[in-house]
Amino acid sequence: MSFKIGVDGGGTKTECVLVDREGTVVAVHVGAGSNPSLVGPDQARSIVSAALDSLRAQASTHDSGVTRAPFGPAPEITSTLLCMAGSRPFWGEFAAGLSGFGRITALDDSLPVLELATHGKPGLVLHAGTGSFVAARAPDGSVHYAGGLGWRFDDPGSGYDIGRRAIARALLELQGWSPASRLGPLLREHTGLTTATDITRSFYGDPLPNQKIAGFAPAVLRAAGERDHAALQIVLQSVAGLLDLATHVAEKLFTASLLDTVRTGLSGPILTHPVVVEALTLRSALPLAPVEGKPIEGVRRLLDKY
């Protein structure tokens, strides 16, 4: 019996599916985030290798329940699709070193959400999780990627960017220089510390400060949803940068179309938050619509093409 493996590797988690030749999901595996820019190349390789080995083992277990001739062929992985965040050359090299997983293709993690947003048709998608990006399929079928520069440079709308902005504001509140909001108490709760000095020291001393900073974003989103003015302002300022990038991409790729006719999806827990959807819809000529389904579903659909 033959199988395919699909992997969605992001900054927060690595989600994988094993599908049979009819396309039915027969096993799943969820592991830690595998973006090498965040966890380092060695850890990224280890996480994805363990996930692939787990699914290959589950293929053998699944096949053991299927009636077949004694000593018949073992279950076969015919193809593996890696949709990964982080360095493209890194994942290309990783894919080239794999064996026993059939034909291996390494793609950007933008492709699954683009597939969900446009169903293979022209259009674009804005995605924000730990990081952010814009992906688009032009009228000629070519695929384009914008943003996704990572936390060291610029990722507007991302969990890291929202966390960074909110922490800076909260620290000024705790120092007594900005009006009090919910951000100060939320930051104390997030870190378990009290003073601005101790909190600042904890972030600078953390071996993975980017993840700790991005981890503050869910609390900021909750406060924004409850209409805390400071939190809401920070979230909307952050996502506005991603919307501006998407508008620029649409204007360049869809020159013969009106913006309100360009299929546009919003993907990820930040951009699909009701407060964010409402604000972006009022601000944009693009017909923004929350994407339905998780990125791993987009991977499963792409498996049919690889």
pLDDT tens-place string over residues 85-133: 988 999 999 999 999 999 999 999 899 999 999 999 999 999 998 889 9
Buried b / exposed e over 110-124, threshold 16 CB at 10 Å, is bbbbbbbbbeeebbb
Structure tokens, 35: 């973006």
Give the mean pLDDT of the chain.
Answer: 92
Q: Which secondary-structure segment (H or E) carries 28?
A: strand 25-32
- Give φ, ψ of 21 to 5 degrees: -70, -15
* pLDDT higher at 150 or 161: 161
pLDDT class for 62, splitting at 50, 70, 90?
confident
Domains annotated on the chain, with CATH: 2-108 (3.30.420.40), 126-291 (3.30.420.40)
Residue 144 has pLDDT above 90, yes or no: yes
Does 81 have pLDDT greater than 60?
yes
Q: Which two tokens stand for residue 135?
A: 């992906």
Tell me if 166 sits within 8 A of 154, measured CB to CB.
Answer: no
What pLDDT, on a 0 to 100 scale, did the predictor assign at position 38? 82
**270 in Cβ contact with 239 (< 8 Å):** yes
Contact 36, 156 (CB under 8 A): no
pTM of the predicted structure, to 2 decimals = 0.86
> What is the pLDDT, as a whole number, of residue 67?
44
Phi and psi for 30 in degrees, rounded to 5?
A: -125, 125
- Helix, strand, or coil (residue 185): helix
* Residues 160, 119, 297, 60, Cα dihedral to 10°: -130
151's tokens: 């936390």
Q: Are strands 103-108 and 13-20 parallel, antiparallel or unpaired?
A: unpaired
Q: How far apart are CA 33 and CA 217, in angstroms?
A: 17
SS3 content of the chain, % helix, strand, coil (to 5): 45, 20, 30
